[in-house]
Amino acid sequence: MLSALLSKVTHEVLVELEFTSERARMSVVARAPDGTIRLLCKGSDAVMLPRLRPGTDAELLRDTDANLHAFSVKGLRTLVITSKVRSCVCLCRWMRMKTPTPLMRREQATQSSCMPSGCQRVNPHA
């Protein structure tokens, strides 16, 4: 559930990649009510900021860095959250790369020919 501007919007979680010390971040793929599929990722600024796409607004990065520094001086812990809209095809390719075992890849491959027409629910951990 996401609250934005005092209205609640429910997103369907399609995939969750739990935090691991190896990745040092946690990711979720979710579908919005309008059908948009979005990859959301959270982690420390040291892990997340280097992964931002080239060309990210320099002023935004400076402001973010200043805010993160101000919070750390106060002893506050921070997390950075990133978001990227993904297509069904892109999600399918990503799932093939991220699904960890041959059995899980085989199970995923049997799910609706890799999510045609409307991207059906994918759960590699089922």
pTM assigned to the model: 0.64
Which part of the chain has CATH 3.40.1110.10? Answer: 2-86
Hey, which residues does 40 pair with through a beta bridge? 28, 83
Q: Outline where DSSP puts E strands in the chain.
A: 2-4, 7-9, 12-20, 25-31, 37-43, 80-86
CATH of domain 2-86: 3.40.1110.10
* pLDDT tens digits, 31-71: 888 888 888 999 999 999 988 888 889 999 999 999 999 99
User: Letter for the amino acid at 66?
Assistant: A
Q: Which is higher by pLDDT, 47 or 5?
A: 47
